Structure 1
């Protein structure tokens, strides 16, 4: 994990073991959820913390799953 606040489609695809096309669709869905909550989003990227909260329940940090 790098120190960037955002995660892009390539990193999402690598993290989840999916295609880059699916990663873009997932980012789009998550960004819509953020917009509904009043956040400003960047197309093709998602807030890293929000991504990990939605995918892993917030339990993943520094590349390892926290239980």
Structure 2
């Protein structure tokens, strides 16, 4: 089963940042999620939300 939440160590490895920075990133993303009405777990971040915010995914444009 694939993880639904990432820990600070996961974020640290993925982004190649120090541990303190990974905790800062998690706090910022969780704050954004709280503002949108989601429940959060301190010290963990939703994997999908993290990927949406940190990885560029171009929109598929409809041409024709």
TM-score range, shorter chain: 0.7 to 0.9
Using the TM superposition, give the Cα deviation of residue 4 of structure 1 relative to its aligned residue in structure 2, in angstroms: 1.1
Name stretches of at least 5 consecutive residues in structure 2 with no aligned partner: 59-64
- Regions of 4+ moved over 3 Å: none
Question: 1:58, CA displacement in angstroms?
Answer: 5.0
SS at match of 2:40: coil
Displacement after TM superposition at 1:10 (Å): 0.2
Residues 58/27 of structure 1: CA separation in 2 closer, same or farther (3 Å cut): farther
TM-score, normalised to structure 2, is: 0.84
Alignment of 1:28-47 (within 5 A): 28-47=27-46
Comparing both structures, which one devotes a greater share of its residues to strand? 1
Change (3 A) 1:29 1:11: same
Query: Which residue of structure 1 aligns with residue 25 of structure 2?
Result: 26
Matched, 1:7 2:6: yes
